[in-house]
Amino acid sequence: MDLKEKVIAEIKKIYDPEIPINIYELGLIYDVSINEKNVKVKMTLTTPNCPVAESLPKEVKDSIMNIDGVNKVDLDLVWEPPWDKSMMSESAKLELNL
Protein backbone atom coordinates (compact mmCIF):
# COMPACT_ATOMS: atom_id res chain seq x y z
CA MET A 1 0.00 0.00 0.00
CA ASP A 2 1.51 3.34 -0.99
CA LEU A 3 1.38 6.42 1.22
CA LYS A 4 -1.65 7.96 -0.51
CA GLU A 5 -3.62 4.73 -0.03
CA LYS A 6 -2.64 4.71 3.66
CA VAL A 7 -3.78 8.32 4.04
CA ILE A 8 -7.14 7.60 2.38
CA ALA A 9 -7.60 4.48 4.53
CA GLU A 10 -6.96 6.57 7.65
CA ILE A 11 -9.38 9.27 6.52
CA LYS A 12 -12.05 6.61 5.96
CA LYS A 13 -11.92 5.86 9.71
CA ILE A 14 -13.26 9.35 10.49
CA TYR A 15 -17.03 9.77 10.53
CA ASP A 16 -19.21 12.82 10.37
CA PRO A 17 -20.90 12.98 13.81
CA GLU A 18 -24.32 13.75 12.33
CA ILE A 19 -24.29 11.36 9.36
CA PRO A 20 -23.18 7.73 9.83
CA ILE A 21 -20.83 7.83 6.82
CA ASN A 22 -17.07 8.36 6.78
CA ILE A 23 -15.97 11.77 5.55
CA TYR A 24 -14.22 10.35 2.48
CA GLU A 25 -17.34 8.59 1.17
CA LEU A 26 -19.38 11.62 2.17
CA GLY A 27 -17.36 13.64 -0.34
CA LEU A 28 -15.82 16.06 2.14
CA ILE A 29 -12.28 15.28 0.96
CA TYR A 30 -11.68 17.10 -2.31
CA ASP A 31 -8.04 16.19 -2.84
CA VAL A 32 -5.16 14.24 -1.28
CA SER A 33 -1.71 14.82 -2.69
CA ILE A 34 1.67 13.52 -1.59
CA ASN A 35 5.01 15.19 -2.17
CA GLU A 36 7.68 12.85 -0.79
CA LYS A 37 6.54 12.42 2.84
CA ASN A 38 4.44 15.58 2.97
CA VAL A 39 0.66 15.26 2.66
CA LYS A 40 -1.68 17.97 1.45
CA VAL A 41 -5.41 17.58 1.97
CA LYS A 42 -8.13 19.83 0.63
CA MET A 43 -11.41 19.29 2.43
CA THR A 44 -14.70 20.96 3.20
CA LEU A 45 -17.55 20.55 5.66
CA THR A 46 -21.24 20.04 4.96
CA THR A 47 -21.90 23.66 6.02
CA PRO A 48 -19.69 26.56 7.18
CA ASN A 49 -21.47 26.58 10.56
CA CYS A 50 -21.00 22.84 11.05
CA PRO A 51 -20.76 22.00 14.78
CA VAL A 52 -17.43 20.22 14.21
CA ALA A 53 -15.85 23.01 12.12
CA GLU A 54 -13.06 23.34 14.68
CA SER A 55 -12.51 19.72 15.64
CA LEU A 56 -12.98 17.71 12.42
CA PRO A 57 -10.10 19.24 10.40
CA LYS A 58 -7.81 18.80 13.42
CA GLU A 59 -8.90 15.17 13.75
CA VAL A 60 -8.11 14.56 10.07
CA LYS A 61 -4.69 16.20 10.36
CA ASP A 62 -3.80 14.39 13.60
CA SER A 63 -4.88 11.01 12.19
CA ILE A 64 -2.73 11.45 9.09
CA MET A 65 0.25 12.53 11.18
CA ASN A 66 0.04 9.18 13.01
CA ILE A 67 0.82 7.30 9.79
CA ASP A 68 4.36 5.98 9.69
CA GLY A 69 6.32 7.85 7.04
CA VAL A 70 4.38 11.13 7.11
CA ASN A 71 6.52 14.16 7.95
CA LYS A 72 4.04 16.99 7.53
CA VAL A 73 0.34 17.54 6.86
CA ASP A 74 -1.04 20.69 5.28
CA LEU A 75 -4.82 20.80 5.50
CA ASP A 76 -6.79 23.39 3.59
CA LEU A 77 -10.40 23.84 4.66
CA VAL A 78 -12.18 25.23 1.61
CA TRP A 79 -15.73 26.29 0.78
CA GLU A 80 -15.52 26.25 -3.01
CA PRO A 81 -17.06 24.32 -4.52
CA PRO A 82 -19.72 24.10 -1.82
CA TRP A 83 -20.49 20.57 -0.69
CA ASP A 84 -23.75 18.98 -1.76
CA LYS A 85 -25.18 15.45 -1.79
CA SER A 86 -24.00 14.81 -5.35
CA MET A 87 -20.42 14.62 -4.02
CA MET A 88 -21.19 11.51 -2.00
CA SER A 89 -20.02 8.13 -3.24
CA GLU A 90 -22.62 5.71 -4.57
CA SER A 91 -22.18 3.52 -1.47
CA ALA A 92 -22.82 6.51 0.80
CA LYS A 93 -25.98 7.39 -1.14
CA LEU A 94 -27.19 3.80 -0.85
CA GLU A 95 -26.45 3.80 2.88
CA LEU A 96 -28.61 6.90 3.30
CA ASN A 97 -31.30 5.70 0.84
CA LEU A 98 -30.73 8.62 -1.52
Encode pLDDT of 24-46 as tens digits. 999 999 999 999 999 999 999 98
pLDDT along the chain (98 residues), means of 10: 94 90 96 96 90 89 96 96 93 88
Q: Is 27 inside a domain boundary? A: yes
Count of structural domains, the chain:
1
Q: Is 93 inside a domain boundary? A: no
Q: Is 97 inside a domain boundary? A: no
d(CA 42, CA 9): 16
Residue 34: domain span:
3-81
Q: Is 90 inside a domain boundary? A: no
In this structure, what CATH number is given to the domain that contains residue 46?
3.30.300.130
User: Could you tell me where the DSSP H helices lie in 2-96?
Assistant: 3-11, 55-65, 90-95
Q: Is 25 inside a domain boundary? A: yes
